[in-house]
């Protein structure tokens, strides 16, 4: 006789487990604890076996609840397997194993493997950039999909979505990163195709805009404006240090006090924080050392020169300096459009115009030298020249702010003797 939902619902526990039989091997086992389990009894090779189909709860909204109708459907599926000589429990185990293997082969799982494998060769900033973009723009659409099921059109829709918000550069990078991830999946034998490869050229790249350099007059105006700026004192120190050292914005923002040796007048930026993954030495002028001493009074309690106000465990964001430039009317609509990264272009332009060796300037800018032998030579031999150049540059900046200074004549003579 077939079982009813009411009978299943009202069945009370007893001292020993008992069964309420349905049809075709299905029954509800009621345990003394009150737990009710759907079971299917079957035979293969003359041997009786039992297969658990799920649990029956009085509260139908409980996660995992299997109704009488659901138990009958599961029983019918199990009966079909038994007719083929397949144990339902073995089939379930294989399905779980297959799902676990597929979980290892999702786009997100393979992307994280790829990042883990290659991340040691990237700067911290670059690695964080990749993780952030994949998390926000890629994983929501294809992260949980097996790499074998992802189509070029699915990736194309991601690129178009990013492109529509004006982030063409990121769309271009997403295609490159996705292609690298699929190639890694091919190498590790989890797929055979790279669906991102046919999309090369699908995104229109924005025209490269080089950082604007300040003219001598504009730099003088900036220095005067900085003198009257009433913003965060640490930000003011940051502008001056960046101007004198012309490091990249991220290299300044993430600077740690332990990287500075005041006695040697050197700032050694670790390789992992450099774009080219090589340690970079920044000779410190007298002006920078004075600034560092002043800044230490403000932020010396932190590991960072420029700690984030919201969390002392990290540093200021990428927008902090540019927002200050906007308030100073050097960046934004109706201005000259000068961003913090432009200090590098400013120093490079003026030092080249001043007759300094271009190789020395490029080495101080930490630009990549394609000739590794030459790059090694430059790293070793240009340090003395760079020390002179950095002091001359600091004195040049001081002279723009105070034309009566006499320090520049001395350092110019040092530069001439070194030249």
Domain ranges of the chain: 5-100, 107-199, 216-418
- Cα separation, 13 vs 18, in Å, equals 8
- Cα separation, 110 vs 189, in Å, equals 11
- Residue with the larger pLDDT of the pair 97 and 233: 233
Query: Across residues 95-102, what is the average pLDDT?
Result: 64
Backbone angles phi, psi at 102, to 5 degrees: -65, -35
Q: Are 184 and 113 in contact (CB under 8 A)?
A: yes
Query: Across residues 346-367, what is the average pLDDT?
Result: 89
- Cα separation, 292 vs 283, in Å, equals 13
pLDDT for residue 117: 92
pLDDT, tens only, 301-354: 999 999 998 887 889 987 889 899 999 999 888 888 888 889 999 999 999 988
Catalytic residue among 36, 344, 386, 387: 344
pLDDT, tens only, 220-251: 999 999 999 988 999 999 999 999 999 999 99
Is the pLDDT score of 27 beyond 70? yes
Q: Which residue, 214, 258, 248, 251, is CA-closest to 347? A: 214
Catalytic residue among 240, 248, 253, 280: 248
Q: Are 163 and 155 in contact (CB under 8 A)?
A: no
pLDDT for residue 259: 94
Query: Across residues 154-162, what is the average pLDDT?
Result: 93
pLDDT for residue 407: 47
**Confidence class for position 101, pLDDT limits 50, 70, 90:** low
Is the pLDDT score of 371 beyond 60? no
Q: Report the residue count for the chain.
A: 419
Q: Identify the CATH assignment for 216-418 out of 3.30.2400.10, 1.25.40.10, 1.10.443.10, 2.40.50.180.
A: 1.10.443.10
The span from the first CA to the last CA of the chain, in angstroms, equals 105
**Is there a catalytic annotation at residue 367?**
yes
- What distances in angstroms separate CA 222 from CA 58, 216, 325, 386, 405, one per listed residue? 74, 10, 10, 25, 18
Q: Which residue, 109, 183, 112, 198, is CA-closest to 146? A: 109
- Residue with the larger pLDDT of the pair 333 and 183: 183
Catalytic residue among 60, 205, 377, 416: 377
Catalytic residue among 87, 341, 379, 412: 341
pLDDT for residue 207: 57
Q: Are 305 and 257 in contact (CB under 8 A)?
A: yes
**Is there a catalytic annotation at residue 344?**
yes
Is the pLDDT score of 283 beyond 90? yes
pLDDT, tens only, 130-154: 999 999 999 999 998 888 889 999 9
Q: Are 86 and 42 in contact (CB under 8 A)?
A: no
Output b/e per residue, 367-382; b: 16+ Cβ within 10 A.
eebeeeeebeebeeeb
Catalytic residue among 275, 286, 296, 323: 275
**CATH code linked to domain 5-100:** 3.30.160.390
Catalytic residue among 62, 367, 374, 416: 367
Is the pLDDT score of 95 beyond 80? no
CATH class of 107-199: mainly alpha
- Cα separation, 170 vs 370, in Å, equals 26
pLDDT, tens only, 187-212: 998 889 999 999 988 877 665 455 68
Fold match flag (5-100 vs 107-199): no
Is the pLDDT score of 412 beyond 60? no
pLDDT for residue 413: 46
């Amino acid at each position: 006789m077939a079982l009813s939902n009411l009978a299943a619902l009202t069945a009370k526990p007893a001292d020993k487990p008992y069964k309420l039989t349905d049809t075709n091997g299905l029954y509800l086992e009621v345990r003394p604890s009150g737990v009710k389990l759907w079971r299917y009894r079957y035979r293969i090779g003359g041997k009786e076996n039992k297969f658990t189909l799920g649990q029956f709860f009085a509260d139908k909204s409980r996660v995992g609840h299997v109704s009488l109708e659901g138990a009958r459907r599961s029983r019918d599926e199990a009966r079909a397997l038994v007719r083929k000589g397949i144990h339902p429990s073995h089939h379930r185990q294989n399905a779980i194993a297959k799902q676990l293997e597929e979980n290892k082969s999702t786009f997100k799982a393979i992307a994280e493997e790829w990042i883990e494998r290659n991340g040691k060769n990237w700067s911290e900033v670059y690695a964080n950039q990749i993780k952030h973009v994949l998390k926000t723009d890629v994983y929501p659409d294809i992260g949980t999909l097996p790499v074998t099921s992802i189509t070029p059109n699915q990736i194309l829709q991601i690129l178009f979505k990013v492109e529509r918000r004006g982030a063409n550069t990121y769309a271009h990078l997403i295609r490159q990163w996705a292609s690298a991830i699929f190639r890694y999946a091919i190498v590790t034998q989890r797929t055979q195709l790279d669906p991102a490869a046919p999309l090369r050229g699908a995104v229109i790249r924005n025209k490269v805009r080089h950082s604007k350099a300040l003219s001598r007059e504009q730099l003088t105006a900036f220095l005067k404006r900085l003198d009257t700026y009433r913003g965060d004192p640490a930000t003011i120190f940051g502008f001056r240090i960046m101007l004198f050292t012309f490091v990249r914005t991220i290299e300044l923002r993430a600077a740690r006090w332990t990287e500075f040796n005041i006695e040697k007048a050197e700032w050694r930026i670790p390789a992992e924080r450099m774009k080219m993954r090589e340690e970079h030495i920044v000779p410190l002028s007298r002006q920078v050392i004075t600034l560092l001493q002043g800044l230490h009074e403000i932020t010396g309690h932190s590991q960072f020169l420029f700690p984030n106000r919201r969390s002392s465990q990290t540093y200021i964001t990428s927008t902090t300096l540019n927002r200050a430039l906007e308030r100073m009317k050097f960046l934004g609509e109706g201005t000259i459009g000068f961003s913090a990264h432009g200090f590098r272009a400013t120093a490079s332009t003026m030092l080249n115009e001043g007759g300094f060796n271009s190789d020395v300037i490029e080495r101080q800018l930490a630009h990549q030298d394609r000739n590794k032998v030459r790059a090694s030579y430059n790293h070793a031999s240009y340090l003395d020249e760079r020390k002179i150049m950095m002091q001359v540059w600091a004195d040049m900046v001081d002279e723009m702010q105070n034309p009566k200074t006499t320090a520049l004549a001395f350092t110019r003579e040092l530069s001439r003797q070194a030249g």
